[in-house]
Structure 1
């Protein structure tokens, strides 16, 4: 069970990092190669990042919500793994 939790959180971390990279390189959502991947990443991560973005909007052009999501996910992962051990 711990391995499954770790796998799911690792996939989630990769999706958040992909979202950060997509925001830096500005891929067009209509690009035939990267567009579908980008839309998938945004669809999966938006429900988690939007509530944090409402509480803490981007400041000075910097969006700190991915960092906060990664920190909260790390804490949640530790709690879940410790409960199962």
Structure 2
């Protein structure tokens, strides 16, 4: 029973973190809206350390940062592995 609780908690954490990454990505599309900059400023220290791992592998291509795509895929794969345990 404790293993199930840890597994479910970890799965929920990954889903919440995935949501935070999605929000962070969406906020970068609207850099001129002032209140969105405050939210992005709050989310950056939470999400950027994880995203920076993938930014070191995939540099921006023509101003387009594709590293969050790989970061999201990895999070989803890990979450599915946790569920299958």
Please say if residues 5 and 81 of structure 1, whose CA atoms lie closer than 8 Å, have aligned partners that are also in contact: no
TM-score by length of 1: 0.79
Query: In the alignment, what sits opposite 1:8?
Result: 13
- 1:20 offset after TM fit, Å? 0.9
TM-score by length of 2: 0.79
Please say if residues 11 and 79 of structure 2, whose CA atoms lie closer than 8 Å, have aligned partners that are also in contact: yes
Establish whether residue 70 from structure 1 lines up as the match of residue 75 from structure 2.
no
- 1:27 offset after TM fit, Å? 4.7
Question: Any gaps of 5 or more consecutive residues in structure 2?
Answer: none
Q: Provide the rounded CA distance (Å) in 1 between the counterparts of 2:60 and 2:82.
A: 30
Aligned residues: 80
Question: Any gaps of 5 or more consecutive residues in structure 1?
Answer: none
Q: Provide the rounded CA distance (Å) in 1 between the counterparts of 2:69 and 2:40.
A: 19
- Return structure 1 stretches of 4+ with deviation > 4 angstroms: none
